[in-house]
Chain A
Amino acid sequence: MMHFEFHVEGGNFLKAGAASSQLKKILKQLNVDPKTIKRVVVAMYEAEVNIVAHAYKGDIYIDIDTKKIEITLIDEGPGIPDIDLAMKQGFSTASSVVREMGFGAGMGLPNIKNNSDELTITSEVNKGTTVKFATYLNQ
């Protein structure tokens, strides 16, 4: 069982992806197969970018055991009023700054779902959002 933590700054697109990059290096060192690594880091990167794009700050907690990689992202931010709507392909409230970075097409949450085996999102408006997902390791 291994545990890692990362901090994410809202609005800072220069650092967006730094945590996902660290995770990728860790998973490579652990010899996780490349396809699984890609699924995990793509999901994590979209979730990390969501904190940068939509929230004020957040923390990422990663737990790895022999069966799965579990990632929990907890942010302080505006929250998501309607999670079902936010999960819809194409729904986005992203600013033009976010779009200039190549995001903001409303494809992030659906892609996190697509690249994970378990996903739960909970959110409180004006407080923050918690995105928790897990990807199973091939046995």
Chain B
Amino acid sequence: MKIKKVVELLNAKVVSGHDHLEAEVEFCFASDLMSDVLTVETENLLLLTGLANLQTIRTSEMSDISKIIFVRKKNATEEMIRLAAENEMILIECDYSMFKTSGILFSAGLKPVY
């Protein structure tokens, strides 16, 4: 699925990395626990999280994750956006809850890691 489609389905807002909208994504992992994200070995992962701080971006950088959705109106700070841009990531903000977001993306065909 194209990231563009994900944004559309979630009525979401891209706050950084608009040039990645055509990128494809197959797997999604939802977690607020960065240590857990750091154990996932799947490539080309979309991260769904309610944790919006600098360590979310750092964790993604180390894990080769370049697509992040912040759920439930969590906003990316300027510093997060700067670091994300440096690492060529797309950051998306979404108003829906983690549950609703996961449900929509799962129904649309994104695959779980486990």
Contact = CB atoms under 8 A, between A and B. Distances in A.
Interface of A: 13-14, 16-17, 20-21, 24, 34, 38, 41-42, 45-46, 49, 100-105, 107-108, 111, 114
Nearest to A102: B34
Interface of B: 32-39, 51, 53-56, 58-59, 61-64, 79
B101 to A, nearest CB: 18
A101 B53 contact: yes
Name the prevailing secondary structure of the B interface residues: helix
A65 B28 CA distance: 36
B39 A17 contact: no
Contact of B53 (A38, A102, A104): A102
Contacts of B59: 17, 45, 102
B62 A45 contact: yes
A16 to B, nearest CB: 6
A108 B62 contact: no
Given A14-B54, A102-B51, A111 B39 contact: yes
A114 B34 CA distance: 16
A42 B38 contact: yes
Given A102-B33, A103-B55, A24 B39 contact: no
A111 B33 CA distance: 14
